[in-house]
Amino acid sequence: METKPSAKTGITVLAGAIVTVLVWIATLSHVEVPGEVAAAVTTIIAGIVGYLVPARSGKHVELDATPVPDDYEPKH
Protein backbone atom coordinates (compact mmCIF):
# COMPACT_ATOMS: atom_id res chain seq x y z
CA MET A 1 0.00 0.00 0.00
CA GLU A 2 1.34 3.41 -0.94
CA THR A 3 1.25 5.88 1.95
CA LYS A 4 2.53 8.95 0.11
CA PRO A 5 -0.28 11.50 -0.35
CA SER A 6 -1.15 12.62 -3.85
CA ALA A 7 -0.45 16.13 -5.10
CA LYS A 8 -4.18 16.83 -4.85
CA THR A 9 -4.18 15.99 -1.14
CA GLY A 10 -1.00 17.91 -0.41
CA ILE A 11 -2.05 21.06 -2.24
CA THR A 12 -5.49 21.03 -0.60
CA VAL A 13 -3.94 20.74 2.87
CA LEU A 14 -1.44 23.49 2.04
CA ALA A 15 -4.25 25.78 0.85
CA GLY A 16 -6.09 25.27 4.15
CA ALA A 17 -2.95 26.13 6.11
CA ILE A 18 -2.36 29.25 4.01
CA VAL A 19 -5.91 30.48 4.65
CA THR A 20 -5.41 29.92 8.38
CA VAL A 21 -2.20 31.98 8.36
CA LEU A 22 -3.89 34.74 6.32
CA VAL A 23 -6.73 34.93 8.86
CA TRP A 24 -4.14 35.17 11.64
CA ILE A 25 -2.35 38.00 9.79
CA ALA A 26 -5.69 39.77 9.31
CA THR A 27 -6.31 39.49 13.06
CA LEU A 28 -2.88 41.01 13.77
CA SER A 29 -3.88 43.88 11.47
CA HIS A 30 -6.95 44.49 13.67
CA VAL A 31 -9.38 42.98 11.15
CA GLU A 32 -12.01 41.00 13.03
CA VAL A 33 -12.62 37.64 11.35
CA PRO A 34 -15.21 35.44 13.08
CA GLY A 35 -14.22 31.79 13.46
CA GLU A 36 -17.20 30.68 11.40
CA VAL A 37 -16.13 32.88 8.49
CA ALA A 38 -12.53 31.64 8.71
CA ALA A 39 -13.76 28.04 8.68
CA ALA A 40 -16.09 28.73 5.74
CA VAL A 41 -13.33 30.41 3.71
CA THR A 42 -10.98 27.50 4.43
CA THR A 43 -13.63 25.02 3.30
CA ILE A 44 -14.40 26.98 0.13
CA ILE A 45 -10.71 27.30 -0.81
CA ALA A 46 -10.11 23.60 -0.11
CA GLY A 47 -13.11 22.71 -2.27
CA ILE A 48 -11.91 24.89 -5.14
CA VAL A 49 -8.39 23.48 -4.97
CA GLY A 50 -9.74 19.93 -4.75
CA TYR A 51 -11.88 20.58 -7.81
CA LEU A 52 -9.12 22.19 -9.89
CA VAL A 53 -6.19 19.88 -9.10
CA PRO A 54 -6.49 16.63 -11.08
CA ALA A 55 -6.44 13.30 -9.27
CA ARG A 56 -3.54 10.96 -9.84
CA SER A 57 -4.68 8.00 -11.88
CA GLY A 58 -4.12 4.63 -10.32
CA LYS A 59 -6.01 1.83 -8.67
CA HIS A 60 -8.50 4.22 -7.01
CA VAL A 61 -9.17 6.36 -10.10
CA GLU A 62 -10.66 4.76 -13.19
CA LEU A 63 -10.69 6.94 -16.26
CA ASP A 64 -13.86 5.44 -17.74
CA ALA A 65 -15.77 3.82 -14.91
CA THR A 66 -19.42 3.77 -15.93
CA PRO A 67 -21.65 2.35 -13.19
CA VAL A 68 -24.54 1.98 -15.65
CA PRO A 69 -24.73 -0.88 -18.18
CA ASP A 70 -24.43 0.00 -21.86
CA ASP A 71 -27.99 -1.13 -22.63
CA TYR A 72 -29.57 1.09 -19.95
CA GLU A 73 -32.51 3.20 -21.05
CA PRO A 74 -33.94 5.70 -18.56
CA LYS A 75 -37.64 5.47 -17.78
CA HIS A 76 -39.30 8.85 -18.06
Q: CA-CA distance, 37 to 9, in Å (whole number)?
A: 23
Q: Is residue 59 part of a domain?
A: no
Question: 3-state DSSP call for residue 20?
Answer: helix
Q: Which pLDDT does position 53 carry in this prediction?
A: 83
Instruction: Quote the number of domains for the chain.
Output: 1
Provide the domain limits for residue 24. 7-52
Q: Is residue 71 part of a domain?
A: no
Q: Which pLDDT does position 29 carry in this prediction?
A: 96
Q: Is residue 41 part of a domain?
A: yes
- Low pLDDT (below 70) residues in the chain: 1-2, 56-66
The pairs formed by 31-36 with CB atoms below 8 angstroms and a separation of 24 or more are none
Task: Report the predicted TM-score, pTM, of the whole model to 2 decimal places.
Answer: 0.62
What is the DSSP code (8-state) at residue 48? H
